[in-house]
Amino acid sequence: MSSSLTAGLEYQFFVVAFNFAGESGDSPVLTVKAADPPTKPDAPYKIFADTGTIQVGWVAPSSNGNAALIGYKLYWNGGGAGPLLATPLLDTADPAVFSHTENGLTLGERYTFAVAAYNEIDDS
């Protein structure tokens, strides 16, 4: 089995069975288009910030990996200087959502955000 398919190209597959008596006819042809995860979007940016509230936005990645985008996952550190949490703060499951407002933040805390786009193959 090959794992070196080129994203964006179509490939055709069919199956032939054989045994000591000979070969079967060809199965129906399956045509598939190879895909990759989408490229990484740019870092999220601040749209609005006020005491206890921030709205962050992002733009679509430059490539969807030749598979329809499913949505975006927004990660954050939950406040403080720690690493990003493994569970996303938001999973849009909608490729047309490009922002999120988070309330209840603590004044003086440092918050870090990152965004990943995803399709049926994987996250960016």
Per-residue pLDDT of 28-49, as tens digits, reads: 998 887 888 899 999 999 999 9
Structural domain contains residue 25: no
Residue range 54-104, pLDDT digits in tens: 999 999 999 998 889 999 999 999 988 889 999 999 999 999 999 999 999
Is residue 94 one of the residues assigned to a domain?
yes
Domain CATH number, residue 81: 2.60.40.10
Two tokens at 76?
A: 């954050």
CA distance 110 to 80: 5
Provide the domain limits for residue 109.
45-119
The pTM of the whole model exceeds 0.85: no
At 116, the amino acid letter reads: A
Distances (CA, A) of 121 to 35, 36, 71, 117: 7, 6, 12, 11
Q: For the chain, how many structural domains are there in total?
A: 1
Which H or E element spans position 82? none
pLDDT of 3: 64
Is 6 contained in some domain? Answer: no
Cβ atoms of 27 and 15 closer than 8 Å: yes
- CA dihedral (55, 41, 72, 43) in degrees, to 10, reads -30
